[in-house]
Amino acid sequence: MADWKEYYQNEDDDVEQDEEDSGGDYKVSGRDSLVFLIDASKEMFIKGEDGEPSNFDMTMQCVRSVYTSKIISSDKDLVALVFYGTEQSKNPRNSFKHVYVYHDLDSPGAQRVQDIDKLLGEKGAQMAGKILGSGETSLGEALWCCSNLYSDIKLRLSHKRLMIFTCRDDPHGGDGAKDRQARTKAADLKETGVVIDLMHLTKPGGFDVSLFFCDIVSPPEDESELGVQTEPSRKLEDLQKRVRAKELKKRAQSRLTFSLGEGVNLAVGVYVLARTATKPPAVRLYRDNNEPVRTKTRYFHTHNGGILLPNDMKRAQVYGKKQIVMEKDEVDEIKKFDDPGLVLMGFKPMDRLKLHHHLRPALFIYPEEEQISGSSCMFTALLLKCSEKNLFALCRYIPRRNTPPRFVALVPQREEMDQSQTQATPPGFHVILLPFADDIRTLDVHEGPTASDEQVDKMKEIVHKLRFKYRSDAFENPVLQQHYRNLEALALDMLAPEPIEDLTSISCVLIVLNGSLLSFFILLCSHTFYVPSVPKVKMIDDRLGPLVQEFKDLVYPSDYNPEGKPAAKRKPAESGGGAEKKAKIEMSEEEMKNHVAKGTLGKLTVAVLKEACKQFGIRTTGTKKQELIDALTTQLSK
């Protein structure tokens, strides 16, 4: 009989599966595709001021970054690299002049990354001049060529995007015929579902988007997108940020109905803003040909060896020494509480939401106007009122069918923009899953010594001196980064992997507890705590100055030595000589026979079993617990 867990999964497993599956009736199938269309004109190769890289070199670094990230995160996606405005021509059937297809639309790989490495730096610019060259520009022909790349793909594509990299706001120099051809081909691409984005780069005199490219690029896909940026990218970080924001498709994990009351509903999309990044699982290969091995599971009858089908098996759970057997339909009916969705239960002040209520990374909801008209207006009104009154909404949350309900807190978040007017934080509600009463544990906390007010005030000064602004997106996981650097070095035939900077090896972490700080004070003042690399003691001392010594004087006695080890003290024996021996544990023969009859000899310790063997004169060949049990059972069963 199959295990009950195969039918009723743990709720944690359901939530983890929710993060991977799209859930509900909204599911995206197919592969993403991305085409880089890069200007190869002479203006792209002009170096910036103060030795800054050229626009072409900056673009190629960005393309390489996308290639490597695709290999890690989604190696099934398709990527292509096309240059326009070249002297040489290379494309399918050579139908288009001054268009060079460097990479066809295919999955990224190590060889493609090596090809891009050849176009980086000074030597890369020279290589590009020999292979590509700079010639006439016809963006219409380049877009036509990209359209053919998409039409030649027989796979199902879920998302198609084309990015244009250029520093020329008028690529055709006022040629009206070429401008009209480009606008026509761009419109044709948009009709086939291709999203065209402009990644314009800096140029002397500024880049005027309205001159030509405003008719080429696609409008924003939803209200959360800002569309084309007016300011060009001047640095590699800005360019990578914009590309990353565009090439990642915003996909809802699920789309649910948010019920505010009887007959008042709106539609929301549930998004995952953060999830744990893990190493990809190892792929099993057949040793003879290195082909992937596929595993299959079959269930067999224990008596006749016949194969069991799903309808031949039932699930059971033991309760009170009785086996409770249920059918699949019965289990589904028990698990079904209500239809998937969010139901508003009420509102609570934000101070009622505690840190220990946060069980796992929060989800994020955003209105879906396409599902229910008016959702955006109602959602915005609720968001503004909750934000103004500093309230969170308490809701019942069922992510999908046959899933137990959870209580969640909807924490409002308003939209924020950065200096370049790019959206830094989107407007919406964070969905924080709350614990049930059964999930909260009551612990008996050991009460340690309490610090005095003077000690606490002095430590506040130390904490203030060592504070720094923490941003989680500024620290990469060093284990993952080293893992992928090693794989990259093997795949690209590099002599050694690129070194990584371990940003987690900070010099100290300040932990502020209410009242009880002495254990942390000892670590801070003696500098004996361990971190992966050498702590920046000099920087800490420069910042703190005499504060550490002043704090030592408040906490420790004058003769305290943190390096010294206290001498081990021996407890005096009560009756003369050596240490007190443990008392022997003796059991009567009747008690041992009762253990044998009940089969509970295994609950006794090895020391007790050995003493019993000596007491009853039983000789054993070994000292293992099972051998002692067997010898006692044989002797006392006679």
> How far apart (Å, rounded) are the C-alpha atoms in residues 228 and 210?
10
Question: b/e string for 416-445 if b means 16 or more Cβ within 10 A?
Answer: eeeeeeeeeebbbbbbbbbeeeeeeeeeee
Residue 555's SS3 state is helix
Q: At what angle are helices 110-117 and 55-73 packed, to 10 degrees?
A: 170
Helices 547-555 & 518-526 angle (0-180, nearest 10)? 130
Task: Report how far residue 523's alpha carbon sits from residue 462's, in angstroms, rounded to the nearest whole number.
Answer: 13
E strand or H helix at 409: strand 406-413
**Whole-angstrom distance, CA of residue 245 vs CA of residue 282:** 30
343 Rama sector, left if φ>0, alpha if ψ -120 to 50, beta otherwise: beta
Amino acid at site 252: A
Rounded distance between C-alpha atoms, residue 340 and residue 397, angstroms: 8
**β-pair partners for 257:** 267
Which single residue is written with the structure tokens 């990354």? 113
Would you tell me how many other CB atoms lie within 10 Å of the CB of residue 497? 17
**DSSP letters for 295-308:** ----EE-TTT-PEE
Q: How many helices (H) and strands (E) does the chain have?
A: 17, 19
Provide the sign of the torsion angle of the four alpha carbons 84, 87, 92, 93, taken in this order: positive
> In 3D, which of 407, 471, 466, 472 has the Cα closest to residue 433?
407
Spell out the residues 6+ positions from residue 540 whose beta carbon is closer than 8 angstroms to its own. 466, 507, 508
Instruction: Report the b/e string of 311-328 with b at 16+ CB within 10 A.
Output: eeeebeeeeeeeeeebee
Sign of CA dihedral 15, 21, 25, 26: positive
Map tokens 């060949």 to a residue.
621
Phi and psi at residue 252, in whole multiples of 5°? -80, 135
CA distance to 115, 120, 485, 521, per residue, from 493 (Å): 13, 17, 12, 49
CB burial of residue 276 (10 Å; 0-12, 13-18, 19+): exposed
∠ Cα 348 354 360 (to 5°): 105
What residues are annotated to the active site?
27
Distance separating alpha carbons of residues 192 and 36, to the nearest angstrom: 18
The rounded Cα 279 to chain-centroid distance in angstroms is 11
Distance of alpha carbon 270 from alpha carbon 635, whole angstroms:
68
Q: How far is CA 423 from CA 180, 207, 225, 616, in A?
A: 33, 21, 8, 82
